[in-house]
């Protein structure tokens, strides 16, 4: 696929600049001595290109609530400080401030800009987020697994524009124009044609500087999204795909290349400013990205990553042994990464020596700076449409109920959600469920006691509940034998989930011991698995409630695909809001559960 010139704000800015000069009757030569026309920058052999990047924004236009809206900062004395961060008004302002004084600046993202979004964006199929990304000057992004939440057709619409096929246009006289920036899907191809779903790469050009961007999502995307949405698509190996297109770019004369990879790692510290190259390059990071980084061709000069929602700016040697930066900016727009790429005009490549990689650091999107006025206007406009739905009270809580922000395998909010799903499907005419299981990745936030708007502290609004459960998956109730259920529990910590366990949230009555000192499936202690105090019977059939994503084998739980006798119930969000309404009031709010159903041995 041939490279096309970068179109967007850079080209428009240059055109406008030329028009202003012409209108003033001036040429570049007529400007006063010392005026910056870009000529001086073009005469030096090297020029510094500023690469600003972020990932996993997930439609968080407003500052995220609770722990989802904070970052951890390591202090000089060894202590850690919690800093409120995020919100597109502050992200846009941070990026605009960072660009000042940098005539060569490109902004990139590593996927999951949308999907699993709060109601302000999710209610409108993430059109508000794409509009915000256009305004803040995003140049390019890779696709993430959540870009497939509503299927390939919807992803294509987000790129190309047009009103939603079912819900139509949301504002009179306004038609959704789509993303001004390219979504790159290098390793996602159509099974029939073999061609990438969208562009595999793009080339950013500015004043003679050319940098190629290749975008991929994790090869395992089919395991973590609904199968229906990706029918007819194939997901290929990340390394092989990047290496393939790096060769294509080189043949076109593009020697400077950045890979945008929606796959990541786990740093040894949760502090965003942790030095992960101590004591040696990349020593402080583990996970899938480390192996990818070691095998991606040395033609690629930097890796911008995501998916794990972690913060790191590391150096990992490429196959030739030269250091190369690998970065991730946490999630939800709480951080951005600033990387300096020194571009050599003669070689057309990024300068990377045997001892030095491009410098990179993560920066907090703090909320003490001024808000970007255009983003405030955007949020206000969409909030007017969302408020009648979003502001409706659905329950009351006595304190924060930790979900996404919990530090334990079982979270208090996970207990509430699984109990809600059991209650919604327990009756004989509603599925007859005896227990419910919830995938941890589907719990997208905490429930915060502090009011997000004018509803008052402790009030849970529909919008806040939606932020926790944004997928609107339908509930399924299925037959599983005790043996199948045990296999599913073991799949939490074995197979594809062994290195990064996915601990299911369980409803009241289901208890067992998780021994993390053991390996693989043995981590689930078989004889401790009980339902309402009675040991699990391998031969007995149980009615188990779960969302349709899990029932389809999502997150590596293939045991659920063998289930039979399926009953389809309400959506997970409806079950959640109904439970909150039934079990809380202003005078008797819901208290956080103890989260003691799974006994963890470390």
Q: What is the predicted pLDDT for the residue at 44?
A: 83
Burial (CB < 10 A; 0-12, 13-18, 19+), residue 76, is exposed
For residues 341 and 350, the answer to whether their CB atoms sit within 8 Å is yes
Which residue in 549, 474, 72 sits closest to 273, CA to CA? Answer: 72
* Count of alpha carbons within 13 angstroms of residue 339, beta-carbon side: 30
Count of Cβ atoms closer than 10 Å to residue 13 Cβ:
11
Which residue in 513, 510, 489 sits closest to 501, CA to CA? Answer: 489
| Residue 274: C-alpha distances to residues 112, 289, 338, 398 (Å) | 24, 17, 15, 35
Name the token pair of 554. 């999502």
For residues 76 and 61, the answer to whether their CB atoms sit within 8 Å is no
**Coil/strand/helix, residue 357:** coil
Residue numbers of the chain with a pLDDT score lower than 70: 1-43
Q: What is the predicted pLDDT for the residue at 501?
A: 95
Name the token pair of 51. 């690469």
Name the token pair of 345. 């005009």
Count of Cβ atoms closer than 10 Å to residue 518 Cβ:
13
Torsion of CA 489, 493, 497, 501, to 10 degrees: 100
The residues facing 214 across adjacent strands are 201, 259
**Coil/strand/helix, residue 70:** strand
d(CA 288, CA 29): 53
The residues facing 71 across adjacent strands are 83
* Count of alpha carbons within 13 angstroms of residue 157, beta-carbon side: 20
Q: What is the predicted pLDDT for the residue at 169?
A: 94
**Coil/strand/helix, residue 52:** strand
| Residue 343: C-alpha distances to residues 118, 140, 255, 452, 481 (Å) | 39, 19, 10, 45, 61
Which residue in 422, 424, 417, 392 sits closest to 402, CA to CA? Answer: 417
Count of Cβ atoms closer than 10 Å to residue 558 Cβ:
16
Count of Cβ atoms closer than 10 Å to residue 538 Cβ:
13
Secondary structure of 522-568 in the HEC alphabet? HHECHHHCEECCEECCCCCEEEEEEEHHHHCCHHHCHHHHHCEEEEE
d(CA 182, CA 256): 18
Q: What is the predicted pLDDT for the residue at 355?
A: 84
**Coil/strand/helix, residue 108:** strand
* Count of alpha carbons within 13 angstroms of residue 173, beta-carbon side: 0
Q: Give kind and range of the element (H or E) at residue 250.
A: helix 238-251
pLDDT tens for residues 429-452? Answer: 999 999 999 999 999 999 999 998
For residues 447 and 396, the answer to whether their CB atoms sit within 8 Å is no
**Coil/strand/helix, residue 90:** helix
pLDDT tens for residues 34-92? Answer: 333 333 344 589 999 999 999 999 999 999 988 889 999 999 999 999 999 999 999 99
Q: What is the predicted pLDDT for the residue at 33?
A: 34
Token pair 């159509």: residue: 190
Q: Give kind and range of the element (H or E) at residue 183.
A: strand 183-184
The secondary structure of residue 32, as a DSSP letter, is P
Query: Residues near 536 by Cβ (< 8 Å), separated by ≥ 6?
Result: 482, 485, 486, 529, 530
pTM of the model: 0.85
Beta strands at 285-286 and 266-267: parallel, antiparallel or unpaired: antiparallel
Which residue in 71, 122, 79 sits closest to 444, CA to CA? Answer: 122
Q: What is the predicted pLDDT for the residue at 533?
A: 98
d(CA 95, CA 303): 19
For residues 232 and 258, the answer to whether their CB atoms sit within 8 Å is no
Q: What is the predicted pLDDT for the residue at 299?
A: 98
Q: What is the predicted pLDDT for the residue at 356?
A: 86
């Amino acid at each position: 696929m041939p490279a096309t010139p970068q179109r967007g704000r850079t080209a428009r800015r240059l055109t406008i600049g030329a028009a202003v000069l012409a209108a003033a009757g001036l040429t570049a030569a007529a400007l006063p001595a010392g005026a910056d026309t870009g000529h001086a920058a073009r005469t030096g052999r090297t020029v510094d290109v500023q690469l600003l990047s972020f990932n996993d924004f997930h439609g968080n236009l407003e500052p995220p609530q609770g722990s989802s809206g904070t970052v951890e900062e390591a202090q000089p004395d060894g202590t850690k400080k919690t800093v409120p961060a995020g919100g597109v008004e502050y992200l846009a302002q941070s990026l605009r401030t960072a660009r000042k004084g940098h005539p060569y600046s490109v902004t990139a993202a590593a996927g999951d800009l949308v999907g699993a979004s709060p109601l302000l964006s999710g209610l409108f199929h993430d059109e508000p987020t794409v509009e915000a990304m256009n305004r803040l000057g995003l140049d390019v992004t890779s696709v993430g697994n959540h870009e497939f939440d509503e299927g390939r057709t919807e992803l294509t619409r987000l790129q190309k524009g047009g009103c939603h096929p079912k819900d139509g246009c949301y504002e009179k006289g306004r038609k959704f124009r789509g993303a001004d920036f390219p979504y790159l899907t290098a390793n996602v191809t159509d099974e029939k044609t073999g061609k990438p779903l969208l562009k595999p790469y793009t080339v950013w050009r500015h004043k003679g500087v050319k940098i190629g961007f290749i975008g991929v999502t994790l090869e395992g995307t089919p395991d973590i999204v609904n199968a229906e949405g990706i029918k007819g698509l194939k997901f290929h190996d990340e390394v092989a795909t990047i290496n393939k297109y790096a060769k294509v770019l080189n043949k076109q004369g593009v020697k400077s290349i950045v890979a945008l990879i929606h796959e990541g790692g786990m740093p040894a510290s949760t502090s965003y400013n942790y030095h992960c190259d101590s004591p040696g390059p990349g020593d402080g990071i583990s996970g899938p990205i480390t192996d990818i980084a070691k095998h991606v061709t040395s033609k690629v000069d930097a890796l911008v990553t995501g998916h794990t929602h972690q913060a790191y700016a590391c150096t990992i040697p490429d196959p030739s042994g030269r250091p190369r930066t690998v970065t991730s900016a946490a999630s939800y727009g709480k951080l951005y990464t600033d990387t300096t790429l020194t571009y050599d005009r003669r070689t057309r490549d990024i300068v990377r020596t045997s001892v030095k990689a491009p410098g990179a650091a993560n920066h907090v999107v703090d909320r003490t700076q001024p808000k970007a006025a255009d983003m405030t206007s955007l949020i206000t406009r969409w909030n007017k449409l969302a408020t009648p739905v979003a502001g409706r009270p659905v329950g009351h809580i006595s304190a924060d109920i930790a979900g996404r922000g919990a530090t334990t395998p079982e979270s208090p909010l996970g207990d509430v959600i699984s109990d809600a799903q059991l209650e919604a499907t327990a009756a004989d005419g509603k599925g007859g469920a005896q227990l419910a299981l919830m995938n941890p990745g589907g719990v997208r936030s905490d429930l915060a006691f502090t009011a997000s708007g004018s509803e008052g502290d402790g009030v849970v609004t529909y919008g806040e509940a939606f932020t926790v459960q944004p997928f609107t998956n339908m509930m399924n109730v299925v037959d599983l034998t005790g043996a199948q259920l045990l296999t599913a529990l073991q799949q939490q910590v074995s197979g594809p989930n062994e290195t990064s366990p996915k601990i299911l949230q369980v409803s009241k009555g289901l208890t067992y011991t998780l021994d993390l000192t053991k390996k693989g499936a043995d981590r689930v202690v078989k004889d401790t698995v009980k339902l309402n105090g009675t040991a699990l019977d391998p031969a007995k059939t149980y009615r188990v409630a779960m969302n349709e994503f899990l029932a389809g084998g999502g997150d590596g739980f293939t045991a659920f695909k063998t289930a039979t006798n399926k009953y389809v119930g309400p959506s997970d969000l409806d079950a959640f809001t109904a439970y909150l309404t039934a079990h809380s009031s202003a005078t008797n709010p819901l208290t956080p559960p103890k989260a003691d159903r799974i006994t963890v041995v470390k």
